[in-house]
Amino acid sequence: MKIGFIGLGIMGKPMAKNLMKGGYTDVVVNDLNKDAVKELVDCGASAAENDEIGKLCDVVFTMLPNSPQVKEVMLGEQGVAAFMRPGTILIDMSSINPIASKEIAAVLNEKDVDMLDAPVSGGEPKAIDATLSFMVGGKQETFDRYKPILETMGASVVRCGEIGAGNTTKLANQIIVACNIQALAEALMLAKKAEVDPELVFEAIRGGLAGSTVMNAKAPMMLAGNDKPGFKVDLHIKDLNNVLDCAHSVGAPVPMTAQVQEILQWLHNRGGGQKDHSAIVHYYEYLTGETL
């Protein structure tokens, strides 16, 4: 099986490496960042342009920033879809609007090319250690066939429904993550202002009902003043824009999402778009004049 992998960013690069470590060694890669391409070639992959990936590969993975990039790569004038053979498949692991997933799938279906939308959660650390969570949309039989490939990159691979269901689930995930980070920042700053050590507060509550994977990942970063990105503010803004678009389309109320989106946008407007989304704590530091 020859596999194409397009998109070697913070997430895509370690995911492609884990795919190869998992035994899928016939991998062809491409990215605008040619240093990332070279790094994968040094690990045993081969490199090709998108049209060649479409012609050569049985499975094409994409891991790209947003809907416009996936549409351009797949459906643009020299897009991959134009070169894919009947019976092949696109597995899009990007986090995009589920409406866009359905549009891409419809075009591919006309060419007898299958598709799964399979966005992930877990950020860079889980991409590196292959413990990502995959939320997948598509036909049951297609999911069953390709699940073992996804399991080389993740610890959890769950089918959520038909095409678009994966990205709908990812939007729900991103609401919960963003609102958890905001609540964590707010709570730790309350402790700081009340002259209680935020680190001890974290240690005391992490094992109780308030504890979460988000807390365990982000509280130490906030306490250390570390905002090196595992998942960037700008990417979370992108995801929450997709949440708001989808919510408005289906009539779902999302007031908490709207509020945390404003905080993320505040960070972006002050040069923080490339910081980790745990930098939400900087908003509270600005309001209080305190450093956590």
The span from the CA of 99 to the CA of 279, in Å, is 30
The pLDDT assigned to 122 comes to: 87
Q: Are residues 201 and 229 in the same domain?
A: yes
> Count of alpha carbons within 13 Å of 119, Cβ hemisphere only?
26
Task: Say if residue 66 is in the same domain as residue 31.
Answer: yes
The runs of H, that is alpha helices, within 44-196 are: 50-56, 67-75, 98-110, 123-128, 140-150, 165-193
**Overall average pLDDT of the 16-32 stretch:** 97
Task: Give the domain extent around 253.
Answer: 168-288
Identify the H or E element spanning 61: strand 59-62
Q: Which of 17, 126, 170, 218 is catalytic?
A: 170
Read off the CATH number of the domain in which 37 is found.
3.40.50.720
| Domain co-membership, 100 together with 210 | no
Q: Taking residues 191-204, what's their average pLDDT? A: 98
Q: Last residue of some domain: 115, 147, 162?
A: 162
**Residue 232: CATH number of its domain:** 1.10.1040.10
In the chain, % of residues over pLDDT 90 = 95
CA-to-CA separations, 101 to 132, 238, 292, in angstroms, rounded: 20, 16, 41
Same domain? 78 vs 120:
yes
Average model confidence (pLDDT) for the chain?
96
Burial (CB < 10 A; 0-12, 13-18, 19+), residue 203, is: exposed
196 and 149 inside one domain: no
Helix (H) or strand (E) holding 209: none
Q: DSSP 3-state assignment of 201?
A: helix
Are 18 and 102 members of one domain?
Answer: yes
Average pLDDT value for residue range 26-46: 97
- pLDDT, tens digit, for every residue of 151-197? 999 999 999 999 999 999 999 999 999 999 999 999 999 999 999 99
Residue 176 and residue 136 in one domain: no
Pairing outcome for strands 120-121 and 132-137: antiparallel
Chosen domain end from 137, 162, 187: 162
**232 flagged as catalytic:** no
Q: Is the predicted pLDDT of residue 77 greater than 90, yes or no? A: no
Q: Based on the fold, state whether residues 97 and 130 are members of the same structural domain.
A: yes
